[in-house]
A and B are shown apart, each in its own frame.
Chain A
Amino acid sequence: MKKIILSATLLTSSFFYAQVRVGIESNNQYYLDDDKIKIEENEAEDRFRSNTYIKVDYFKNKWEFGTQIESYYPKAIINYSPDLQDANIGTIYARYNDIDNGINITLGHFYEQFGSGLILRSWEDRALGINNALFGVNAKLRLTKNLDLTALTGKQRIGMGFDLSESYVMGSNLEFNAADALKFENIDFRFGASYVGRLDEHKETGYAGVNDLISAFSGRFNLGIGGFNFGTEYVHKQKDIVIANEDYVDGTFLDGNALLVNLGYNKGNFGSSVNLRRMENMSFYSERKLAGNQYNKSIINYIPALTKQYDFSLQNIYVYQAQGGINWFEKRNGEIGGQYDFYYDFVEGTALGGKYGTHLAVNGSYWGGLKSTYDFANNKLEDEFLKLGEKYYSDIAVEIRKNWTSNFQTITMYMNQYYNAPVLEGKFDEVKTDIVSVEGLYNFSETSSVRLQLQNMWASADKGDWGAALLEFVPNTMFSIYVTDMYNYGNTHPESRIHYYSVGGSFSKGATRIAVNYGRQRGGLMCVGGVCRYVPESNGFTLNLTTNF
């Protein structure tokens, strides 16, 4: 009898496909003071900090249920939003996903992106403390083979899972694959259109003319023929009261817009891409007064800085942040500019390619403000369409990756930068830098290697010149240990010249990875995907664990 039941159990359960997935991430930090670096006194009471995320999802047939538990105990790592505290539900959802028939409906927390995200993006980035999931309903329907519709509404998560915005965010999105509908072979031709509205009935009685509903519309298309591709997206955001220093500017209303153009040509060993973008008053928050808040709370749309995300540490000291919003007091609004990227592969066996190949990458960017005039009489700010205002940032970089032998490869990089620190960070002087970075990787045997990185940055102002070095040893595919130092040797104040040294190692097996580290962390902007979080200088131990099963 038992056997029959057991085999019946086995049969039925294999018939109904079901599974549970668990993902765990835990980032722990113990802050220690030394003679040069101390954490702020008000933070010093809790020297041990821990951010832990446990995500459990259950999949059965077309149903999915899941939750993410988050714990910031005893406290969140320094400079995360103070709203993140204790242990609680971060997100929870139920979903019906019939992928074959194109029906996907989520109740609860969900993440979504329309187009490039310029009009709407909700996502999670734990390193930045961003989780702007929407809590409500998201329905994605395939209307025809080539036409997809998304409709959503909800409140936005701004703290822990159920700390939600007062406003409702609602949106809809249409995607039309014209190439497929017209049976164009080998041509990519797509259209998209979106609407996003924020309904905030929280009355501000002191200010006249403030709408409850603020709407934004966008349209876009992409065209790809042969090696060419061209795409554009335009967003218009309805007139809304201007916010400055977390307060309303009485009687002052502005609309917003963004225009993005992408071009590319890719053929053979050559790849290229150019992105151009112009924005005016495009910051969009689920709560008006949170505009420009330092914790990236309540962001409705995604405005990344369109610059290259560099690999070497010194290249990430002066990182550009997109200036999509408005600074009413300084009469600055938006940004205009672009970036370009070229890649070329010198294949094996050619003069420049050598026996093992050489890869060249060249990129650059230029960003500035819009040329604006301010009309005092009417309290109006007017921006010209294609004229450049004050320069904010530019960079150019050349990278060469070369394999010299079957077990030795190098990366060599030069970068030149202009960073308008007075505008971008409120510092005194603008900074021009030249950065040279080299890396060599040598494999001793099939799975053991050593890697050495050397960098130098010459900077015209701020903290002056920097040098950095990193040495990593990998004995096998499971372990790695490293030692690194960044030294601000050019600081005009000798007492402020600091070695940011650290040593650490990692162990990884299967889906599990454990990393430990002891040393100093440079303070400044920590950026992922062009969104940044300020991290203070610190010293201490870190332990990071990630696993899933």
Chain B
Amino acid sequence: MRLRLSLVTICLLFVTFAIGQNKLPNVALKSLNSKTVNIANYNNSSKPVIVSFWATWCGPCIKELEAIKSRYAQWQKDYGVELVAISIDDSKTISRVKPMVTSKGWKYEVLLDTNQELKRALNVVNVPYTMILYKGKVMFTHSNYTPGIENKIEQELNKISKK
């Protein structure tokens, strides 16, 4: 009995930990037009969601978001994907976020993580840090920028679309 009980406990622990392992936590962030968004709402999306941590001072981040820009319209059409760009700029650089996003014509949903609440909750250390979520599960993670990563992301989106 004791064995069975501990077995069940272990199962319970394991299952409890495993389920929802990848879900986005409840963290409220402000969008560029000051609307409050709970990032966990993206867990309910039936389409793939790309979450990309970036900053205006991060050269590789800008390269990554620029590389995705030229593909984005097509990805939205083909996979229904939405890209959520989480800026970790703090008050030193935050006033550059809007000018940069506007002038570069990024059509992403930009959210501000000014005091790194979401970054901390997801244990993100360096930017860029990019995840693809599908129905609340992380399907793909990349923890720095390497040129051509947009091709890899497209492959992953393609894989997901066949599921």
Q: Which residues of A contact B (CB under 8 A)?
A: 2, 5-6, 9-10, 12-14, 16-25, 55, 57, 59-60, 64, 97, 99, 111-113, 116-118, 121, 123-124, 126, 177, 179, 186, 188, 190, 222, 224, 227, 229, 262, 264, 266-273, 275, 302, 304-306, 308-311, 341-345, 347, 359, 401, 411, 441, 443, 445-449, 451, 474, 476-478, 480, 506, 508, 510-513, 529-530, 546, 548
Contacts and interface: CB of A to CB of B under 8 A. Distances in A.
Nearest to A222: B34
A529 B11 contact: no
A341 B96 contact: yes
Interface residues of B, number: 60
Given A9-B8, A123-B90, 18 more contacts: A13-B16, A19-B19, A19-B23, A23-B123, A60-B16, A113-B115, A126-B125, A227-B102, A273-B95, A273-B98, A304-B92, A308-B93, A345-B103, A401-B66, A480-B144, A511-B141, A546-B125, A548-B123
Contacts of B125: 23, 25, 126, 513, 546
24 contacts: A2-B4, A9-B15, A14-B19, A17-B23, A19-B23, A21-B121, A23-B125, A64-B25, A99-B28, A118-B91, A186-B33, A264-B98, A343-B104, A345-B104, A347-B105, A446-B148, A447-B146, A448-B148, A477-B146, A477-B148, A506-B144, A508-B146, A548-B123, A548-B124
Contact of B92 (A222, A272, A480, A529): A529
Contacts of B159: none
B20 A19 contact: yes
Contacts of B34: 177, 179, 188, 190, 222, 224
B102 A10 contact: no
A97 B8 CA distance: 29
A273 B141 contact: no
A18 B19 contact: yes
The 7 closest A-B pairs by CB, nearest first: A23-B123, A271-B99, A304-B92, A447-B148, A548-B123, A343-B103, A309-B57
A418 to B, nearest CB: 20
- Interface residues of A: mostly helix, strand, loop or mixed? strand
Contacts of A451: 147
B126 A117 contact: no
B100 interface: yes
A67 to B, nearest CB: 13
A50 B92 CA distance: 29
Interface in B18-55: 19-21, 23, 25-26, 28, 33-34, 38, 40
A246 B122 CA distance: 39
Contact of A123 (B15, B100, B103, B116): B116
Contacts of A359: 103-104
A246 to B, nearest CB: 27
Interface in B116-153: 116-117, 120-126, 129, 141-144, 146-149, 151-152
